[in-house]
Amino acid sequence: MPASWCSELAIPLAVLLQARQIRPMRLIPILLALSLLATPAHAQAGWWVQDNPHQGYTFAVPPGFDGAGESGNLSRFFFNRAQLSAWSAAASRFETEAEAQLASDLADGWGIASRSTTATWASWSATKPGRVMHQHMIALCSGTGYAALRIEYAQVQRPEIDPLIAPLLASLQPMC
């Protein structure tokens, strides 16, 4: 794809947004899909793939994040004051689990900035004083579990970490 495809797409999206033909929340899945088309996260310089075949998912780790090891079904990576966590768990109903985790974030004082859900994935972004958080969950192939990525970082880290969010969250995939 030529490099100009992004700018060619940006104008129609802006027009549709202005005309209210696309609601802003509907853009999240579109932007996630476009980020996958641009360049796969694992193909970008410095990214590496973390496969978790026993838990049934894979994702790409951004450059600069160092692993802090695994504990059961949880993996943690750190970059300065940013923390990236990946985990999986059993869940009888994916949508119920996603709603429960979102409710837990609200109870912990996170203010939800954006949210998008389907029957097989859920994403939300939130803030609290001085902090930013993004969480993305996917249903696993077994139909009886989910995998999740969560990144939390300081507001002052936004210029360096925000560009990593879309490819990071899009990289979480089930291993079927």
Q: What is the pLDDT of residues 59-68, one digit of tens each?
A: 999 988 887 6
Say whether both 73 and 100 belong to one domain.
Answer: yes
Quick one: average pLDDT of 47-63?
90
Using DSSP's 3-state secondary structure scheme, residue 23 falls into coil
| Residue 167 shares a structural domain with residue 121 | yes
138 and 97 assigned to the same domain: yes
Range of the domain at 10: 1-38
Kindly report the number of other CB atoms within 10 A of residue 132's CB atom.
22
Both 33 and 44 in one domain: the answer is: no
Q: What is the DSSP letter of 93?
A: -
If asked whether residues 29 and 78 sit together in one domain, one would say no
Do both 74 and 97 map to the same domain?
Answer: yes
- At 54 the three-state DSSP class reads coil
For the chain, what is the domain count?
Answer: 2
pLDDT of 52 strictly over 60: yes
Same domain, 63 and 34: no
Closest CA to 139 of 170, 105, 98: 98
Q: What is the pLDDT of residues 59-100, one digit of tens each?
A: 999 988 887 666 666 777 777 778 999 999 998 899 999 999
Sheet with 173-174, side-by-side order of all strands: 48-52, 57-61, 173-174
With bands split at pLDDT 50, 70 and 90, how would you rate the model's confidence at 1?
A: very low
Least confident of 24-28, 52-56, 76-80, 81-85: 24-28
Give the domain CATH number at 142.
3.40.1000.10
- Domain co-membership, 163 together with 117: yes
The three-point CA angle 78-120-147 to 5° equals 30
